[in-house]
A = this chain, B = another copy of it.
Amino acid sequence: MEKNVTALEPSAEAVPGDAVPTDRDPAAKQIPPAAVARMTLYLRALNSLLGEGVERVSSEALAEASGVSSSTLRKDLSYVGSYGTRGVGYEVQYLSRHIAAALGLTHDWKVAIVGAGNLGKALARYGGFESRGFDVVAILDADPMIIGNEVGWLRVSNAANLEVVLKRTGANMVVLALPAAVAQDVCDRVINAGIRSILSFAPVLLQVPPHVNLRKVDMATELQILAYHAQRAQTPGQAV
């Protein structure tokens, strides 16, 4: 049972802009951020079970398959509803559908990848996307040597036409796989083009307006966190 490092980093901090709300805030049940992050794990585990033909699962078993405690699992599920049967467990497909719905995965999202270097290409070809409701509809780059190349079944578009390509393809999410130096610039353009969901792999802090949702992944950060723990573990019983 793993319980060591926090798995998912909540990079999205509390949106500070929800003062000035409309006169009626529906106050719909919102799911705590930590729970949202774990929902994706449940979904993955459920789909895996589904593939194995398993029809029912207990909170205990699903928790184990997701790498969380069963009480955390049950609490998380309680945020989206009561989809289990007491004394029995959860129906895999039924639960999977409901979690997917809660996460907004009922329709496909169209993703454009900006940056067709190794990382961009890796992302474009990454099979895990389509199978989980994400459709890579475009990949762009600014390098003339790269524009026009085939990546999977796509052709690299010219990043100069960013706005046009986003519009034509109907992309509603963008992945930034760019060097730090140009990331903010492209990010601004993407936002101006109306995109409000961005996943950035650029190792730099991006400034975005409050209505835009930005998540960040940085490999160097992850390694540094590992280094911290490794260093602690390596100093055993040191004198005081």
Residues of B within 8 A of A237 (CB): 24, 26, 28
User: How close is A127's CB to chain B, nearest CB, in angstroms?
Assistant: 8
Interface residues on A, range: 35 or more
Contacts A197-B230, A223-B109 given; does A205 touch B118 at CB 8 Å: no
Of A4, A28, A235, the most chain B CB neighbours within 10 A belong to A4
Q: Which residue of B lies closest to A33 (CB)?
A: B6
Inter-subunit contact B24/A229 (CB<8 Å): no
Contacts A7-B216, A203-B44, A203-B128 given; does A111 touch B26 at CB 8 Å: no
Considering the chains assembled together, what is the distance between the CA atoms of A134 and B133 in angstroms?
35
Instruction: Tell me if A146 counts as interface (CB < 8 A to partner B).
Output: no
Residues of B within 8 A of A22 (CB): 236
Instruction: Tell me if A61 counts as interface (CB < 8 A to partner B).
Output: no
Contact of A118 among B30, B125, B220 (CB under 8 A): B125
Inter-subunit contact B173/A226 (CB<8 Å): yes
Considering the chains assembled together, what is the distance between the CA atoms of A68 and B222 in angstroms?
18
Residues of B within 8 A of A236 (CB): 22, 26
Q: Which residue of B lies closest to A10 (CB)?
A: B34
Inter-subunit contact B215/A7 (CB<8 Å): yes
Residues of B within 8 A of A227 (CB): 103-105, 109, 133, 173, 197
Instruction: Tell me if A193 counts as interface (CB < 8 A to partner B).
Output: no
Contact of A238 among B1, B28, B223 (CB under 8 A): B28
Instruction: Tell me if A153 counts as interface (CB < 8 A to partner B).
Output: no
User: How close is A98's CB to chain B, nearest CB, in angstroms?
Assistant: 12
Considering the chains assembled together, what is the distance between the CA atoms of A31 and B148 in angstroms?
48
Residues of B within 8 A of A196 (CB): 230, 233
Instruction: Tell me if A5 counts as interface (CB < 8 A to partner B).
Output: yes
Inter-subunit contact B214/A5 (CB<8 Å): yes
Inter-subunit contact B219/A126 (CB<8 Å): yes
Residues of B within 8 A of A36 (CB): 225, 228
Instruction: Tell me if A54 counts as interface (CB < 8 A to partner B).
Output: no
For the A-B complex with A8-B221, A39-B228, A173-B227 known, give 11 more contacts whose Cβ atoms are closer than 8 Å. A1-B4, A3-B3, A6-B37, A39-B224, A45-B205, A65-B205, A67-B205, A104-B232, A122-B122, A126-B220, A128-B203
